[in-house]
Amino acid sequence: MPLSKSVITRLEFQHQTIRDLIGDLPEEMLRRNIIPNKWSAFENIAHLDAYQPMFFWRLERMQQESNPRFERYVAEQDPKFAGTLQKRLPQMLADIDAQRSQITAYFLSMDDAMLAHKGVHPKFGEFSQPMWAEFFLGHEAHHLYTIFQLTQELRKSL
């Protein structure tokens, strides 16, 4: 099953929505936790930054192993997430762009046999590379929507 044009387009461009959503809001404002016990807009962006290398590692494992099983990714248990939270926003956005280019290029380099490789998600079960792409993009879209909501609330306080 090849990657659809929709998946390819979203892999190439969906992450750029972050910049549209945050606009000219200062980083200090994005770091504000406005909903108790929930991540700030900044923390959501940091999560997307920290998650991309993990996702790429999973793609590589699926090429090297037969149906590897993956544990649920929990950002708070990922030391890279804690480090990502220390970055400044411009560096984080640059890293997201660079990592996404790597992920997109990797997907585009796959032939049909490579795309057929599967991995097992702890909740959703076994699926092939194109469905992992859909999972990745859906996960990112969820956080983009959260960032949208948070930034709209932040703008109310301006």
Domain extents in the chain: 5-156
Residue 1 confidence (pLDDT) above 80? no
Residues composing the chain: 158
Reported as a single tens digit per residue, the pLDDT across 67-77 is 999 999 999 99
Alpha carbons 43 and 3: distance in angstroms, whole number: 30
Q: How confident is the model at residue 32 (pLDDT cuts 50, 70, 90)?
A: very high
Question: Please, are residues 44 and 146 in contact by the beta-carbon 8 Å criterion?
Answer: yes
pLDDT band at 33 (very low <50, low <70, confident <90, very high): very high
Query: From CA 50, how far away is CA 65, in angstroms rounded?
Result: 23
Average pLDDT for 89-109: 98
| 47-65 pLDDT, tens digit each | 999 999 999 999 999 999 9
- Measured distance CA(44)–CA(126) in Å, rounded: 27
Instruction: Give CB contacts under 8 A, 24+ apart, made by 15-18.
Output: 15/48, 15/96, 15/97, 15/100, 15/140, 16/97, 17/144, 18/45, 18/48, 18/93, 18/96, 18/144, 18/147
Name the percent of the chain lying above pLDDT 70: 100
Q: Which two tokens stand for residue 121?
A: 């998600």
| pLDDT the model gives residue 152 | 97
Q: What is the mean pLDDT of residues 107-116?
A: 97
Condensed to tens digits (0 to 9), the pLDDT of residues 4-29 reads 999 999 999 999 999 999 999 999 99
pLDDT at residue 154 is higher than 90: yes
At 158, the pLDDT band (50, 70, 90 cuts) reads: confident
Give this prediction's pTM: 0.96
Average pLDDT, the chain: 97
pLDDT above 90: residue 2: no
State the Cα–Cα distance between residues 56 and 115, nearest whole angstrom: 14
Under CATH, which number does the domain 5-156 receive?
1.20.120.450
CA atoms within 13 A on the CB side of 7: 17
